[in-house]
Structure 1
Amino acid sequence: MKKVVACLVLLAIAAAACGWYAYLHRNMLVEYTEEQKLAVEMPTKSSISLQNMSAALTSDDGSMYVIANSKKTIYKLDASDKIQYEIVETPDTVSELNNFNELAVDSKGYLYTVNTVLDSYGLRVKSEQIVRFTPKGVFDRVIHRLDYYDQNNKKRLRVGNFKSLMVQDDVLYYYVNADSDVTQYRFGEGASEKQTTFSFKLPDNKYLEEVQGIARGSIYYSTRSGEIYSLAADGRSSVVYPLPGTNRTNRNYPESLKADGNGNLYFLDYYMNAISRLNLKNPYVLETLFSAEEQQAKGNELSFYDMRSLMVNGNGELTVTVMDRIMQLGSNGEVKRTIDSALYSGGYRSMRLLTWGAALVALIAFSAAALIYYVYVMKRRISLMLKQIMVFVPIIVISMSVLSYFIYTNFSKKLEEESLRELAMLAHNGRNLIDGDKLEQMNSPLDYMNEDYQKFRRSMDFVFEGKSDFRNDDYYKALYRVENGVIYRLIEDDDSAYMYQPFESTPANAQVIKEGKVVTDQWVDDTGSWMYALSPLYNAKGEVVGLYEISKNLEGIVQHRKQLLRGIVQNLAIITGVLIVLFMVMTYFQLASIRKLRKSVTEIASGNWDVSVSIRTRDEVQDLGEKFNMMTQHIRDYIAQITRFSEAYYRFVPQQFLQYLDKRSILDVQLGDQVEQDMSILVTNIRSFYRMSKRLTPEENFNFINSYLKRFGPYIHHNGGLVNKYLGAGIMALFPNASGSDDALRSAIEMRRELDIYNMHRANSGYKPVDIGIAIHKGPLRLGIIGEEKRMENNVISDDVNMANELEKLTDTLGVSVLATEHVMRTVVNRDRFQYRCLGLIRVEGKDAPIVLYDVYEGDTETIRALKDRTKALFERGVELYQVGRFYDAREAFVQVIKINRQDQAAKLYFYMCDEYYQNGTTSDWNGTLSVS
């Protein structure tokens, strides 16, 4: 007993310690998807995609700091794009959301950022603080904190008052904007508190957007109305952009303003789709440093709608943040480097493996402790009531937990549907409050906060007045201007949103403009995940001149769902407790009648031989169980023997085969039974198996083949297939259902993926890798029983089976892993979910007419898939040119394919044939086919 107790204590300690460690490092177990949802991150993953980025900063030592995952994560990357650390901010309560804004780093590697705390709806700023992290990414201290209380209805939305974190000589400088007053603060190493350096006032009716510079006389700031001002040493402000005669308009709004310290200002210009540079020595000439038009001419597709920020260092080199990539530009605007993913460093991967190991150990230790506890207690002579409680209480708890999950899931779905209906209704009501004719009169950021602007703002909020069911703070509102098919931002519930910034055209907003109806949808960007409704705004002529948007932050909805789930769990916990008490009372009274079980068991023993009883209670119930078992043992043995016989013959004659012949069992099968079916045929073989088998003994050959078939055969069964026969080192399988083509393709893809794992295990054991070819064809075939009365077997007879065998031999020649015919691809139900390319008309040995073949490369390695995806259009264009006899053009197309993917065997075959035909001409009977025999 002491050993059992000691073992339980050790297992409990191990489970608690490892579980706590895994909880503290839980960010190592999950990752953000493109939809900004958390998903399990496998420990073997070596890289991560950088998604929904809002800012990036390159330090002097080449390290890069990135705010990603809709402002929820900060990554530090070294010069080789390896992650040094990541910071994931978690809110203090479920009624809050946290965002990272701004980045600055000193020469010692200390990182400064603004942590903005929003309400549960992701709109109102509750507080913000400038925080510092050590060079290891560990929280160090809070430097400055601001709290917001909505006094006099002056609330900050999405962003706070902190502006422009900058580091000079390892001293942090930043600004705080309060109405028309702007104050600069500094915080140096060794200082215990921040220090105020100076303040200045903004010009009348101007509102601060961004500030650059530290010392007066070299400070520049932009306003919400689109101007750039210079702050002189005496505190006076003067306009430096746009000046009269500048070759830009008031719509060239300067966003993400930056200065390089050499008299140059840089900013994003969404109106021109460009990054502009302004030399203050000649402010009348604005230089286009980098433009989307120029990049498109170079073949680099770039959407300026996804541009989020830029940073500039002292020598004029830029770091530009796009939602899905980071570009480093030279001082002349040339793209030097693009980053869209980050690698895990060795230390980071070790930490992830350690965290996964701790989580696994915790799970195993807990399961082992529970198992030992139950086995130990159940073997002891204790009250039957206590034993029943130990069994049924977990069942009740698990059942109630499952019930909680389904209630929560169904309610969440209905809540989301209801939210979309509410948004549509509010958007529809709100559009009647906006005057479309006056909306057309707003032409540039100079209209910011003018009379019409404020009237529109009041109208946008007015839709919630008098409606007790809706809170204005719950919803995000936006007003857009539509002009010549282009959508411009005008007014938004986001104090960081720019006026008259072009907005990306999406199918949803395009539908609103085209059809003039309210549309609901969901959206994910660097600010978070949203559900929204868009309504058209009309002028007096009935033309759509604007859009009115009402949206909700999905992260806020998730927080409310958590609160809902907590309430459901609490209520169900109370119900569960009451049920447990009632169960204990009922069990207590049922013990008085337990002896009646003897009669019931005797009645069961009189004919129901399928029931067995295993009782170790050391009481009268055990006596009844022993008599029952003695009486039924020989019956169970006989039934077990019959069952084993049935299971054995199914190994030789699959049950599906009997179903096709309309036979109930093997006893009904007669020689000559047959049926015709239209099926997909999959043939797979190990390539070069003959050479490999010569190096093995007969026993090793048998062991290898059985190991191989045991590993790959289940993928056929799991996808509804039937293994018709084993071809030595291969398999011939049939897929009979209406979705047989889809099932066969899925089976082939899964086998190719399993091959990578299989070869990895072989490599670990010192064996050479193997390769397989898979061919899939579809056609009519006849299944039946052949042989003679003393020896029969099932078989399939069809010319299409021979075709599948011949196609499998071509996979190695064509350099493809899965080869499918046109008949297969034409009958695929979900064709778009597979990755494939057309190989063209190919002549197969023994066949008169050529057939169209397809290379299904979804099961290939990630690198090969990426290369084939990249060259798919070019390859298929080359095939089309080849088939019409344009060999020179086709050859050039295949040359381009081979340059990108040097392992493309099919492209090489086409290239050689194009070159041959181009040089020497074709034969008179050539009909556009590729001969590979």
Structure 2
Amino acid sequence: MVAGLVLSVTGYTIYQSAEGYLIERFLKQQEQGVKTIASFIDGDFHSDISLLKDENLKDNQLFNRYQQALDNYIAVDKDYHFVYTLFINEQNRSLRYALLPSSVSNNPKAKLAKNIFTGKELMPDDFFFDHVFNLIDQAKTTSNDHSSSSILHVDGSGTISFGLIVNRNKQPTGIVVIEVSNRQIDRMKQDLFRSMLVTIGLLFISLLLASIIFAHKITRPFEKLTDAIERLINNELDFQLSLSDFGGFSYTAKQFNLMLLKLKVSRNELIGTNKAFSRFVPHKVLKLISPNGIQTTKLGECIEKEMTILFCDIRGFTQLSESMKPKESFAFINRYLNVMVPVINKHGGTVDKYMGDGIMALFPNSPDNALNAAVGMNHALSKYNQKLQTKGLPIVKIGLGLHTGRMMLGTVGTSSRMDVTVISDTVNAAARIEALTKTFQSSILISEELRIKLNQFNKRELRFIATCFVQGKAQPMTIYEVFSNDTISLRNEKLENQQGMIDAWHHYKNGDTDRAITIYQKLMEKSPLDKAQLALIEVVQNGRL
């Protein structure tokens, strides 16, 4: 806007100067024109024109040649120019028409168009007359043969140019007059104004284009830098600024690229550190406590939630580890955990603790997920054992105990060292149930509470084992075996034995131990691979439950 104002003021100033120069040059051109015509006309002949008759004028070759010269001069622009000569009478201070263009009678726009003919006296015009006779007086005092001048008429009608016609004695015998209408001056001004407008317009457009190009060169690097900063805010680091896009600001681009490189290195180091620490932090459990992220987790923060607890333990690990060196023991456990833990994660669980060869996992969503994980762990272990057998290594046997209930999940420790833990008798009960897998020679045992809340799991693959007291529980818990991993024939036998086991347990609880043992023995004879029958006989005989 400021540039446009400055350009407008400058353009107006230039126009005023150009207009003055244009008029001055035009007057000089007109003055040169009358001087040329005056030098062309014979002064002696011009003084004798008034003596010629009209019919003689028409036949006079010299008169016709002069008249033709006037015609040629005004032919350029006859609408605005009028050229003629005057006789001079200095004594009477009068002027009379002499040579006139042949087209004067047909030129209605000419100032002297009406009833003009040679010899007619001009009407007095002080401004006009004063300039004519002043020019004559001036010529007498100078050596110039053909004095001339050009002026703007005082009435604003146009310009008038005078050129003296002199005879062989250097005496003025007439004067050439060129009158130019003010419309011609206006037309020249308009042409000049249009030219100035076009020039200023082109200059403005050029300046505008130049400013746009210049601004683009200035702003483009900052636009590129702004885009780069937005990408940086969005955690994008895998890019670089092109130095060619920054021109004179290439140093800024270099420094920005260097910063990106350092940030990228720092980010990779931080990611590596986080990955290393994440292996020691139960993120899924922490997310339950602090949904907004681990950064907001506070000491003592806790929630109460119903979840399923899974305990898993290797049977006879003590004996297995006795034949191993410490390093081999750790390698053995880690290989085993690499088989078990992915199954837990697959079914929506998360490992809360590793306890030597034992695993404690939480399932916050569904008891079905927990039980499917337990069955999947047994299935994965079966495949793992096949690999161990091909290498001549001892196979691994595990026991899994599961229980569902409400529990408190929270952080304990100090402000400098915190841990996540679960506080509930549900945890203790699940651990006791897992311990009973050794007692009842079962791979998977679950509580009655978990069985009731199953929605999708096939309950035909569950069977009643016993009702017994577990440490930490005032009331006895009913325990069920999950035999989904057994062969089809053994699964069918266990289903057929279900009612007999229930009857035997009732006899035992009613004090008829012998009857209970008899039933268990018959079931064992019928299904020798059903090891739970022998285990129950030992339990009943010893009265351990």
1:613–1:629 contact (8 Å) kept in structure 2: no
For 1:724 and 1:613, the matched residues in 2 are separated by 36
Return the match for 1:687 from 298, 315, 321: 315
Q: Which amino acid letter does the alignment assign opposite residue 681 of structure 1?
A: I
Q: Is the Cα–Cα contact under 8 Å of residues 290 and 296 in structure 2 kept in the other structure?
A: no
Please name the residue that 1:829 is paired with: 455
Structure 2: gaps (5+ residues): 1-220, 246-252
Aligned pair 1:653/2:281, yes or no?
yes
Q: Among all aligned residue pairs of Structure 1 and Structure 2, give the percentage whose two residues are the same amino acid.
A: 31
User: Does the CA-based 8 Å contact 1:815-1:904 persist in structure 2?
Assistant: no
Output the CA distance in 2 between the equivalents of 1:863 and 1:770: 23
Q: Distance in 1 between matches of 2:472 and 2:303?
A: 27
Q: Which residue of 2 aligns with 1:786?
A: 412
Partner of 2:483: 857
Q: Distance in 2 between matches of 1:663 and 1:913?
A: 47
Counterpart CA distance in 1 for 2:391 and 2:539 is 42
- 2: CA distance, partners of 1:797 / 1:745: 22
Please report how far the alpha carbon of residue 775 of structure 1 lies from its aligned counterpart in structure 2 after TM superposition.
0.4
Query: Which of 395, 405, 410 is 1:769 aligned to?
Result: 395
1:874 shift after superposition: 3.5
Distance 1:689 1:911, change over 3 A: closer
Find the counterpart in structure 2 of residue 701 from structure 1. Answer: 329
Paired position in structure 2 for 1:896: 522
Summarize the Cα distance change of 1:691–1:856 in structure 2 as closer, same or farther, 3 Å threshold.
same
Structure 1 residue 857: Cα displacement: 1.1
Letter in 2 for 1:608: R
Query: In structure 2, what is the equivalent of residue 607 of structure 1?
Result: 230
Structure 2 distance, partners of 1:912, 1:648, is: 49
1:630 to partner: Cα distance: 6.9
CA distance in 1, matches of 2:259, 2:539: 79
2:353 partner letter: K
Is residue 760 of structure 1 aligned with residue 386 of structure 2?
A: yes
Shift of 1:841: 1.1
Alignment partner, residue 743 of structure 1: 369
Q: Is the 8 A contact 1:605 1:631 kept in 2?
A: no
Q: Report deviation, 1:667.
A: 2.9
Q: Does 1:642 align with 2:270?
A: yes
CA distance in 2, matches of 1:785, 1:630: 42
Shift, 1:752, TM fit: 0.6
Aligned residue-pair number: 314
The corresponding residue for 1:677 is: 305
Give the deviation of 1:798 after TM superposition.
Answer: 2.0
| 1:790 partner letter | S
Q: 2-side partners of 1:892 and 1:664: how far apart?
A: 60
Matches for 1:335-374 after TM superposition, within 5 Å: none
CA distance in 2, matches of 1:613, 1:724: 36
1:773 to partner: Cα distance: 0.6
Match runs of 1:214-225 below 5 Å: none
1:643 and 1:913 map into 2 onto residues whose CA distance is 54
- Cα distance between partner residues in 1 of 2:452 and 2:413: 36
CA distance in 2, matches of 1:677, 1:854: 24
Equivalence for 1:199: none
**Structure 1 position 898, deviation (Å):** 0.9
Check the 8 A contact 2:407/2:422 in 1, yes or no. yes
1:706 Cα offset (Å): 1.4
Q: Distance in 2 between matches of 1:834 and 1:643?
A: 48
Are residues 1:868 and 2:491 paired? no
For the pair 1:931 / 2:544, whether they are aligned, the reply is yes
Distance 2:427 2:273 in 1: 31
Higher helix share: 2
Deviations 1:41-61 (A, max 9, x none): xxxxxxxxxxxxxxxxxxxxx
Long gaps (5+) in structure 1: 1-597, 918-929
Residues 85-164 of structure 1: pairs in structure 2 closer than 5 A: none
**TM, length-normalised to structure 2:** 0.51
Deviation for aligned residue 1:863: 5.2
TM-aligned CA deviation for residue 768 of structure 1? 0.3
CA distance in 2, matches of 1:898, 1:629: 77
Partners of 1:655 and 1:857 lie apart in 2 by 32
Render the CA deviation track for 1:225-251: whole Å, top value 9, x for unaligned: xxxxxxxxxxxxxxxxxxxxxxxxxxx
Q: 2-side partners of 1:651 and 1:894: how far apart?
A: 48
Partner of 1:716: 344
Which whole-Å CA distance do the structure 1 matches of 2:225 and 2:415 have between them? 48
Distance 2:440 2:261 in 1: 61
For the Cα contact (< 8 Å) 1:814–1:906, is it kept in 2? yes
SS at match of 1:658: helix
Q: Which amino acid aligns with 1:605?
A: A
Deviation at 1:766, TM superposition (A): 2.0
> 1:605·1:632 contact (CA, 8 Å) conserved in 2?
no
| Alignment partner, residue 11 of structure 2 | none
Query: Does structure 2 retain, via aligned residues, the 8 Å contact 1:842–1:931?
Result: no
Q: In structure 1, what is the Cα distance between the partners aligned to 2:442 and 2:224?
A: 64
Cα distance in structure 2, aligned partners of 1:601 and 1:749: 57
Q: Answer yes or no: is the 8 Å Cα contact 2:231–2:237 preserved in 1.
A: no
Deviation at 1:749, TM superposition (A): 0.4
Larger fraction in strand: 1
- What is the Cα deviation at residue 716 of structure 1? 1.4
- Larger radius of gyration, structure 1 or 2? 2
- Determine if contact 2:500/2:523 at 8 Å carries over to the other structure: yes
Q: Is the 8 A contact 2:445 2:482 kept in 1?
A: yes
In 2, are the aligned partners of 1:834 and 1:858 still within 8 Å (CA)?
no
Q: Deviations over 1:645-669 (max 9, x none)?
A: 4434433232222222235333323
- DSSP-derived class of the 2:299 partner: coil
Instruction: Quote the Cα distance in structure 2 between the aligned partners of 1:637 and 1:849.
Output: 59
Q: Aligned partners of 1:836 and 1:774: how far apart in 2? A: 14
Q: TM-score, with normalisation over the residues of structure 1?
A: 0.31
Mapping for residues 309-348 of structure 1, pairs under 5 Å: none
Local SS of the residue matching 1:607? helix
| Deviation readout 1:275-331 (Å, 9 max, x if unpaired) | xxxxxxxxxxxxxxxxxxxxxxxxxxxxxxxxxxxxxxxxxxxxxxxxxxxxxxxxx
Task: Please show how residues 138-217 of structure 1 align to structure 2 within 5 Å.
Answer: none
SS in structure 1 opposite 2:486?
coil
Q: Residue 292 of structure 2 corresponds to which residue in structure 1?
A: 664
Equivalent pair of 2:290/2:297 in contact (CA under 8 Å): no
In the TM superposition, residue 861 of structure 1 has moved relative to its aligned partner by 4.6
**2:464 matched residue in structure 1:** 838
Maintained 8 Å contact 2:347/2:372:
yes
Name the CA distance, whole Å, in 2 between partners of 1:819 and 1:912.
Answer: 18
Pairwise CA RMSD: 3.5
Q: Secondary structure at 1:844's aligned position in 2?
A: coil
Residue in 1 that maps onto 2:421: 795
Separation in structure 2 between the aligned mates of residue 613 and residue 676 of structure 1, nearest angstrom: 43
CA deviation vs aligned residue, 1:806-860 (integer Å, no higher than 9, x gap): 2211101101101101111111122435611011312335644321000011133
1: CA distance, partners of 2:278 / 2:401: 26
Write the distance in 2 (CA, Å) between the matches of 1:809 and 1:655.
28
- 5 Å-filtered alignment, 1:522-541, equals none
**3-state SS in 1 of match to 2:231:** coil
Q: Secondary structure at the match of 2:395?
A: coil
